[in-house]
Amino acid sequence: MAVEPQIEHIKQTVQSFRPSSTIEVTFLAQGAFNKLYDVKIDDETFIIRISLLVDPSHKVTSEVATIDWIHLTTSLPVPRVITYQSSPDNLIGFEWILMTKMPGKPLADVWKSFSIPFDVKARLVKELAANMACLFRNQLQGIGNIHRKSSALERLQSTEQTSSTESPDPAKTASLAKSVSLDPVSNDSSGSSYDVGRIVSMQFFWCSHIHQNVFRGPFQSSQDWLLARLALNENDCQSTLEQHSAKDPEDLDSDDENEVEDARSALKRIERLKSILPLFFPAISDSEFSEPSVMEPSVLSHDDLSRHNILVDESGNLTAVIDWECVSALPLWKSCDYPQFLKGRPRRSEPDRSHYYSGGPDDPTNGDPPRLYLEDLWEYQATLLRDVFIEEMKILDAEWVTVFNESVGKRDFEFAVHNCDDEWETGYIDSWLDDITHGGLEGLRGLQDRIEQEQLRLLNP
């Protein structure tokens, strides 16, 4: 953040709706476009997330609506929103959300301990599978982000002025969460106070993308969503070429020339992806979503369900799932996939610790398990846990498994869209595109399968 939030301003803001309380604010952590602070109010600790204006108003209001909807729809332990500000016109000078602080430590920290048995890890995977199955059963319409309907937003959106003038009745409440709150269920057990609206996704606001004239949803179909993403990539490439074309050719260095070549290659790749899109997704006019009022089914999908966003206690039991910003309702074929923390290079053989450097006076691990061993051990356990996840899904929801099995090609296409300008993946993508051009989809070897097999080859030369 170019301009830093002031701790004193955060304290004054919280003090405005708890004037008789003792307030302490301390920095906790920061991400790409937000900072987190612990806010201690008397004996209770909360979290305030202060955000850059990457997608003004929409990012904050969507996150609030998403968290409320999760409380309504699932049994997942997630934070509760206390109050929020979706405009920078306040003392802090940024958009912010004040929410309950969830107990537990990141899964990444707890699971690296050898004290957590595999069956405990498997139980947690099954619990997350149950909640993903629950989300699958509560399908939405259209591709985008969950938002409160406008009337609900107008009623619920907090402002600094309201917080400072409306004091909670102490006779009715015993804590901040009860005295200053948003009603997460809006007295509507059906969830009809929520709509899928404009998408709030990093690709749609990163760098110059927020200013590009690209439709942001809600998208009627997978085709619309994917074409909008390709348009953003195409605009980036055109911008790169325009920047370099304005220079004198003699002033171009090798880095400039490489950027120009990469942009031209990406543009060709984007055109090829556009041309084969109908092979994976039927033309809109031929699909069941051809009527303007019919939206493709979608599922709320936490695509950053990493080991850092899952909190557990010291025994490995789930205590919270956090970081619900930029979580979108995505097509079924995209949603029916392994959670992010289980994805990775497959490893079917348990690593032998004796094969890793350890011991001796020069041992850099100081007796701890070598880092490479821990990484390989996690790959092995994650491979086994993927099996646990799929077997549990077969019990919970056979339709989810059917969509998962039948959507390999669609997930490959989306992977190519996401990585169409990634130098590490473009070789695989170009080879995959060549095979489609010459032979179609019949007998096509999957894109991500190619990458996985190459990883296995490197693992076992």
- Whether residues 355 and 282 fall in one domain: no
Query: Would residue 214 count as lying in a domain?
Result: no
Q: 352 and 436: one domain?
A: yes
For 230-246, how does the pLDDT look when each residue is reduced to its tens digit (9 = 90+)? Answer: 999 999 999 999 988 87
For residues 340 and 320, give the distance between their C-alpha atoms in angstroms, rounded to a whole number. 16
pLDDT of 48 above 50: yes
Residues 76-112 have pLDDT tens digits of 999 999 999 999 999 999 999 999 999 999 999 999 8
320 lies in a domain?
no
Question: Which residue(s) pair with 291 in the sheet?
Answer: none
Cβ–Cβ < 8 Å for 327, 300: yes
Q: What is the pLDDT of residues 380-393, one digit of tens each?
A: 999 999 999 999 99
The 10s digit of each residue's pLDDT in 171-186 is 333 344 444 433 333 4
The pLDDT assigned to 161 comes to: 33
Mean pLDDT in residue range 258-269: 95
Same domain, 367 and 452: yes
**Residue 407 vs residue 193, higher pLDDT:** 407
Cα separations (Å) of 47 from 84, 160, 161, 170, 346? 11, 17, 21, 22, 37
pLDDT at 304: 93
Task: Collapse the DSSP code of 135 into the 3-class scheme (helix H, G, I; strand E, B; otherwise coil) and give the result.
Answer: helix
What type of residue sits at position 326?
Answer: C
Q: What is the pLDDT of residues 129-155, one digit of tens each?
A: 999 999 999 999 999 999 998 633 443
Mean pLDDT to the nearest integer, 426-440: 96
Q: What percent of the chain has pLDDT over 70?
A: 84
pLDDT for position 289: 58
pLDDT of residue 15: 95
The beta strand positions in 248-327, using DSSP E, are 297-301, 310-312, 318-321
pTM recorded for the entire structure: 0.87
Question: Count of domains in the chain?
Answer: 2
Could you check whether the bond before residue 218 is cis, i.e. omega within 30 degrees of 0? yes
**Residue bearing the bigger pLDDT, 143 or 247:** 143
Of 266, 326, 328, 322, the closest CA to residue 301 belongs to 328
- Specify if 154 maps to a domain: no
The band of 455, judged by pLDDT with boundaries at 50, 70 and 90, is: confident
Q: Do 349 and 434 belong to one domain?
A: yes
pLDDT at site 166:
38
Is the residue at 16 inside a domain?
no
Rounded Cα distance between 185 and 450, Å, is 45
Average pLDDT, the chain: 87
276 shares a domain with 354: no
Range of the domain at 256: 221-286
In this structure, the answer to whether residues 276 and 377 fall within a common structural domain is no
Residue 416 included in any domain = yes
Domain closes at, from 238, 258, 286: 286
Any domain includes 395: yes
Last residue of a domain, one of 239, 258, 286: 286
For residue 384, being part of any structural domain is answered with: yes
Boundary of a domain, candidates 242, 259, 286: 286
Shared domain for 370 and 452, answered yes or no, is: yes
What pLDDT score was predicted for residue 164?
Answer: 34
C-alpha dihedral, 52 to 54 to 59 to 60, nearest 10°: 20
pLDDT reading at 365 higher than 80: no
Residue 249 lies in a domain: yes
Residue 226 identity: L
Query: Do 279 and 367 fall within a single domain?
Result: no
447 contacts 416 by C-beta, under 8 angstroms:
yes
Minimum mean pLDDT range among 57-71, 96-110, 441-455? 441-455
> Rounded to 5 degrees, what are φ and ψ at 171?
-75, -20
